[in-house]
Structure 1
Amino acid sequence: MHRIIRTLRTERGLSQQQLGALIQLSASSIGSYENGRLVPVQQNAKILDDVLGSGDRVQRASAEARGMSFAGFLRPWAEMEERATLLRSFQLAVVPGLLQTREYAERLLRVGPVDDVPTRLANRLTRQQVLTRADDPAEFIAVIDRGVLHRQVGTPEQMAEQLRSLAEAAARPNIWVHVVPGSADAYHGLNGSFAMATVDDHVFGYVDSHFGGDVISNPADVQTLERSWEGVRSYALPVEESHDMILKAVQTWS
């Protein structure tokens, strides 16, 4: 896939910066496409085809690359993520995948018997584009337990970088990050992490397990997740207080 983008770009005499400017992406994003670190989401692949006059070559190649990089259990959820207008995530133990830095994500992926970490890592970083794409990025509401800010993943320097990145992400107009304080005592989130995606006015859930993950589509089960979501939101701090708590946690790792 990455060779196709590089070839099409050079054939048209464009630099990475020039191509990025045409589709409202950074030159580094184009570079990541061309070296295989990222795979364009469907929307960006279509824009690339339009700008490069390549029919649907980039779309077909990127779709194939995404399919190969996703674990079978994750593929249906990743497709919903890409189509979602609203994403919601509660994480009890780690930073949500859509907001993880490269180093933080890689450290998590190397825990346990995971095969082909580079491909899994590229896949996770590619999924994050749903929040940063130029045209109509998804809205994302993340609620995290306070313990996430103080659980070391990687080196202290990598933790500080991750939390700074989290604070910066929360400043974007389509992203809200809330922290559940330690004073929350027992609350719904202690039952485990989960996510929800709103696609075409329908809500779907996703729950991780040791054996992969399950997409939740049964209306009764989705309603249960909705109640859990309202529960964790009721204990979470407002955005401004959460932002201050994240920045204070950065200092503990610096």
Structure 2
Amino acid sequence: MIDLQEAIRKERTTRGLSQEQLGGLIGVSASTIGSYESGRLIPVRALAKALDGVFETGERVQRLAAQARGLSIAPFLRSWAENEAQASMLRSFQLSVVPGLLQTEAYARHVLTDIGPVDDIETALANRLARQEVLTRAENPAYFVAVLDRSVLHRQIGSPDVMVEQLTALVAACDRPNVRVHVVPATAGAYAGLNGPFALGSVHDRWVGYLDTHLGGEPIDDPQQVRRLERAWEDVRSYALPVAESRDMIEKAALTWS
């Protein structure tokens, strides 16, 4: 069975394109094309679609990329990633970092590198960015509600420039019709969110959950445990500021990193 890297290399050479020429057609560097052909990188959905457009291969590259991406995702994350991709609504609480679905590439790279450990940073980064397409896809994007602790805005991940870019992106996310971002202020004191980050997703009219842990993560589908997470969600959400106030707080925090 032909694999992704072989397919890209074969289609490129058949058309007499150099890696640099192909990269120019889809807006990436020659080294990125080389990484696709060596299997070191997996193109995100938008770039896989662009490759199909250049090659006139329908959705072939997209299907192969999705298969490769699924195999490259850590086993503990696969079931949640599948649920996430099918969810009509997603909820995420983060205590320490920006939710992965709203991370910029630079911020995500530092999270994966510095917090890790991750064996293959480039593949993990490509997977994280690809998962964000659940919010930006043309048909039925998921409705996403993110609650994050105020400390996230003031914890330096990467350089100050990385923080400015990330918080500016968060402000922009507040303006998307399918995204809501709320911040829990410092005045909240002790609240349920201090127990740690978690996520919930509505998949085919049922809720499933996910817990971030030091061992990687734990998908939650037991109805009783999911109900406990739903109660925790209502608790943290009740401490969070409204969207407009949260947006204002994020904007002010971005200025402190300038």
Is the TM value for this pair above 0.5? yes
Task: Tell me which residue corresponds to 1:140.
Answer: 144
The unaligned stretches of length 5 or more in structure 1 are 20-26
CA distance in 2, matches of 1:91, 1:67: 24
CA contact (8 A) 2:42 2:69 kept: no
CA distance in 2, matches of 1:101, 1:216: 27
Task: Tell me which residue corresponds to 1:60.
Answer: 63
Report the CA distance shift for 1:133/1:219 in structure 2 as closer, same or farther (over 3 A): same
Query: 1:113 Cα deviation (Å)?
Result: 3.2
Of 77, 82, 85 in structure 1, the residue corresponding to residue 85 of structure 2 is 82
Q: Which amino acid aligns with 2:63?
A: R
CA distance in 2, matches of 1:67, 1:234: 36
CA contact (8 A) 1:39 1:65 kept: no
What is the SS of the residue equivalent to 1:110?
helix
1:103 matched to 2:106? The reply is: yes
Q: Which amino acid aligns with 2:123?
A: T
- 1:176-203 CA deviation, whole Å, 9 max, x = no partner? 0000011111111111100011110011
Of 221, 245, 251 in structure 1, the residue corresponding to residue 249 of structure 2 is 245
Query: Over aligned residues, Cα RMSD in angstroms?
Result: 3.2
Query: 1:109 Cα deviation (Å)?
Result: 0.8
CA distance in 2, matches of 1:5, 1:143: 40
Task: Tell me which residue corresponds to 1:189.
Answer: 193
Counting matched residue pairs gives: 245
CA distance in 1, matches of 2:127, 2:241: 31
Report the CA distance shift for 1:251/1:40 in structure 2 as closer, same or farther (over 3 A): closer
Task: Tell me which residue corresponds to 1:24.
Answer: none
CA distance in 2, matches of 1:230, 1:91: 14
Q: Which amino acid aligns with 1:70?
A: I
Task: Tell me which residue corresponds to 1:201.
Answer: 205
CA distance in 1, matches of 2:222, 2:119: 31
1:112-131 residue pairs with structure 2 within 5 A? Answer: 112-131=116-135
Of 76, 88, 93 in structure 2, the residue corresponding to residue 73 of structure 1 is 76
What is the SS of the residue equivalent to 1:143?
strand
Task: Tell me which residue corresponds to 2:158.
Answer: 154
TM-score (normalised: structure 1): 0.84
What is the SS of the residue equivalent to 1:230?
helix
TM-score (normalised: structure 2): 0.82
CA distance in 2, matches of 1:105, 1:94: 10
Query: 1:68 Cα deviation (Å)?
Result: 3.0
What is the SS of the residue equivalent to 1:209?
coil
What is the SS of the residue equivalent to 1:165?
helix
